[in-house]
Amino acid sequence: MRSAVNHPSRQTIDDFINKNVDRPIANKVLHAHPSPMHWKTQFDRSRFDQALQNSAQRSASINFYIGIPFCLPTDPPHCGFCLFPTTAYQGKSAISQYLHYLAIEADLYKETYGQAKIASLYVGGGTPNLLATQHYDELIKIIQSLFPDMDRNIEKTLEGIPQLFSADKIKAIHESGFNRVSMGVQQLDDRLIQYSGRKQTSRQVFDAIEMFHQYGLSCNVDMIYGWPEQSIDSMLDGLRKISAAGVHHITHYELNIAGRSHFATKQRAILPSQEEKYEMYKVAKQFLQEEGFVQKTAYDWERRSASSRGNAKPWEYLYEQNLRQLFSSSEADSQCYMGGLGYAAVNIRLQPDGGKDSFSAMNQRNLAAYMKDLADHRKPIERVYFHTPEDVKLCWIFQALQELSVNMADYRAVFESEFLTEYALTVAGLLEKEWIVVRDDVLYLVGRGEFNVPLIQAIFAFQLSQEISKPEAVIPIAAIE
């Protein structure tokens, strides 16, 4: 497949790097190309339904996401830093009503998932552990209505915040069949966490971890670095205690600063600089490696252990791992799709040859609009983007960069084209900066390159993003052939 994109000149690449290298990048976790702001609210519904149906006919395994919209109100709002779409918690009856609509939505997808196999389930949000004890069974039943042959051993994760993981909820989560939890701790320091307005203590964090161990639930802990007033010592203290508590998977995110969040508008003066954050990244990396953790992405760390229960390995995070392996070859049956139900959920289907069946779609981010669509028996899709073959290549490159390396032999096998030829100027620019090295057909991010993954992703996407940004963009003919 020939490249249809005019790649930027070396000068443009250097200017772009110099302009952005010292700025906090708004989104440190770029999973998709293009960014959802380019997905279209006006889209061809019949083309979308057809693409869904066509992808359903291919035998694929599905990573399934369910979105729960609700969060406890905080002061400042949205925990001060959060950029995810959420809705204020309105009590148990609002949750029951929401689950009722989720079941209606699942019904609309029965035909789509008739042949498919679910590979992993992730219930995220929002705050899924706001659900009451009786709701976890209901959630699993909704999934079983779509995948009646679901293997009970697949990874099934439920996300939540420490203060809501009570003993009776953990028991109900476990008994309904979830085998993994992901707990958003962010900060262990009881003073620093107060910037988020959360009523969270480190005691609650360790009590919850202790109970996860009792119930044999694998556990991931989300931590954030680059927090207001956070020092390297306080970051290390948090990581040390989480590691000592026997956690086998840590996501260590750099704080995203953007938009009108309280941190972005009121706390900027006390945020660490880019240079300080890079130092934090390096110190955390060294510490986690010494503790036996292996780096899977710029922010994912896993520590293998001797113990594992059935198929579930406490260190694994299959849902994310599968998503990063969008297609390891051009064989259809090695493809992995992302399916989603619920508020703000995303559906992604990527075909290596791009074209009409590759798309990304996002559900309504307004709860009333979500329920209204379902009351009218319409899939609650807010926006859709149909990918060109060049977009699909970039999606693949984005995922590879998350893992800090691009295997160019795999790229060749999937796309039948030469990565180094297509991206010669970009690669030359990154080599000169010493952000990458190339060895044995693999490009590795090194040094500051690891810290700058989103910036490197943006450089690879530079030309295509410019073309997409123009409302009157004419996609080159070769790209849609």
Name residues contacting ligand SF4, limited to 159-198 (CB under 6 A): 161, 184
Of these partners, ligand SAM, ligand SF4, none, which one is at the site of residue 256 (CB under 5 to 8 Å by kind)?
ligand SAM
Residue count (the chain): 481
Our CB check for ligand SF4 shows the closer of 129 and 321 to be 129
Q: How far is the CB of 85 from ligand SF4 (least distance, A)?
A: 9
Name residues contacting ligand SF4, limited to 53-72 (CB under 6 A): 71
Q: How far is the CB of 67 from ligand SF4 (least distance, A)?
A: 10
Binding-site member from 25, 60, 82, 406 for ligand SF4 (CB under 6 A) = 82
Of these partners, ligand SF4, ligand SAM, none, which one is at the site of residue 78 (CB under 5 to 8 Å by kind)?
ligand SF4
- Asked if residue 225 lies in contact with residue 180, where contact means CB atoms within 8 angstroms, the answer is no
Cα atoms in the Cβ-side hemisphere of radius 13 Å centred on 423? 26
Piece of the chain touching ligand SF4 by CB under 6 A; list 110-118, 122-130, 148-156, 345-353: 122-130
Cβ density class 371-396: b for 16+ within 10 Å, e for less: bebbeeeebbbbbbbbbbbbbbbbbb
Q: Is the dihedral of CA 96, 101, 104, 108 positive or negative?
A: negative
Q: How far is the CB of 322 from ligand SF4 (least distance, A)?
A: 23
Binding-site member from 13, 25, 32, 79 for ligand SF4 (CB under 6 A) = 79
Of these partners, ligand SF4, ligand SAM, none, which one is at the site of residue 63 (CB under 5 to 8 Å by kind)?
none
**323: its two tokens:** 């998503």
Our CB check for ligand SF4 shows the closer of 31 and 379 to be 31
* 84 interacts with ligand SF4 by CB under 6 A: yes
Beta pairing class for 300-302 and 70-71:
unpaired
Our CB check for ligand SF4 shows the closer of 127 and 297 to be 127
- Rounded Cα distance between 204 and 462, Å, is 44
Q: How far is the CB of 124 from ligand SAM (least distance, A)?
A: 6
- Rounded Cα distance between 46 and 44, Å, is 6
Q: How far is the CB of 387 from ligand SAM (least distance, A)?
A: 25
426: how many CB neighbours lie within 10 A of its CB?
A: 19
Our CB check for ligand SAM shows the closer of 389 and 454 to be 454
Peptide bond just before 476 cis, omega within 30 deg = no
Residue 397 region, left (φ>0) first, then alpha (ψ -120 to 50), else beta? Answer: alpha
**Residues contributing to the site for ligand SAM (CB under 6 A):** 81-84, 125, 127, 159, 161, 184, 186, 222, 224, 253, 255-256
Cα atoms in the Cβ-side hemisphere of radius 13 Å centred on 427? 17
Backbone φ and ψ for 231, nearest 5 degrees, come out as -100, 170
User: Which residues would be at the binding site for ligand SF4 (CB under 6 A)?
Assistant: 71, 78-79, 82, 84, 86, 125-127, 161, 184
